[in-house]
């Protein structure tokens, strides 16, 4: 879990709510990683943790790389789209992160794909100003997004109280991201 108020990620070992949590912050994973509060996290097939660095424009995405001695961190600043804010992140079936960003200059949300090496695969000159999808998909989105088992991107548009689907944009995932944790009762 990410902490929207601090640059900290928490892991509950063994999937138990009663286990002692493990905390990752810039002191444990390297000063470059986790430069600000965390919007959302996603785990890739190698066990690496990808985090959307929330609140400060341009901080982009951090990757906590799992190694034999624990995790080390790498930060990928978001230099495209005028240093946009990152909110949410999902991993597709090929291990590529997809990031929900808010363009600081245009005040709209959009999805930017990355590759598994941390390179953003969009630019301010390509397509819809570096964003995936049409201008309609860019209009005030902001609730989050997921990738399903067909490679479709599902995105929430809070302003229009609706959900958008971009068919087949990502590589299909075996187990789709199912949303946020809910109480066990």
Q: Give me the number of domains the chain comprises.
A: 1
Q: Considering the domain boundaries, does residue 171 fall inside one?
A: no
Q: Are 97 and 42 in contact (CB under 8 A)?
A: yes
Residue 40 · residue 19 · CB < 8 Å: no
Report d(CA 176, CA 10) in Å as an integer.
21
Asked whether the predicted pLDDT for residue 137 surpasses 70, the reply is no
Domain with 69, as residue range(s), is 8-166
Give the single-character DSSP code of 14.
G
Alpha-carbon distance of 22 to 11, in angstroms, equals 5
The pTM for the full model equals 0.78
**Mean of the pLDDT values across residues 59-85?**
82
Most confident range, picked from 77-86, 100-109, 117-126? 77-86
Q: Does some domain include residue 177?
A: no
Give pLDDT, residue 129: 46
Q: How far apart are CA 118 and CA 148, in angstroms?
A: 22
Residue 178 lies in a domain: no
Residue 80 lies in a domain: yes
Q: Is position 174 within any domain? A: no
pLDDT interval class at 33 (50, 70, 90): confident
Q: How far is CA 155 from CA 65, 110, 148, 161, 163, in A?
A: 27, 9, 11, 11, 6
CATH (domain of 140): 2.120.10.30
């Amino acid at each position: 879990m990410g902490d929207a108020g601090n640059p900290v990620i928490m892991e509950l070992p063994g999937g138990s709510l009663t286990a002692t949590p493990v905390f990752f912050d810039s002191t444990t994973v390297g000063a470059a990683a986790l430069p600000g509060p965390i919007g959302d996290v996603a785990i890739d097939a190698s066990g690496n943790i990808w985090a959307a660095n929330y609140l400060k424009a341009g901080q982009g995405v951090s990757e906590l790389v799992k190694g034999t001695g624990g995790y080390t961190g790498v930060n990928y600043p978001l230099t495209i789209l005028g240093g946009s804010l990152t909110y949410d992140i999902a991993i597709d079936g090929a291990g590529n992160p997809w990031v929900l960003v808010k363009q600081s200059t245009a005040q709209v949300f959009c999805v930017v794909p990355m590759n598994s090496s941390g390179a953003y695969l969009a630019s301010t000159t390509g397509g819809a100003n570096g964003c995936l999808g049409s201008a309609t998909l860019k209009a005030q989105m902001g609730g989050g997004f997921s990738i399903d088992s067909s490679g479709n991107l599902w995105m929430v548009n809070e302003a229009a109280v609706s959900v958008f689907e971009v068919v087949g944009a990502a590589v299909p995932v075996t187990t789709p991201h199912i949303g946020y944790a809910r109480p066990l009762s």
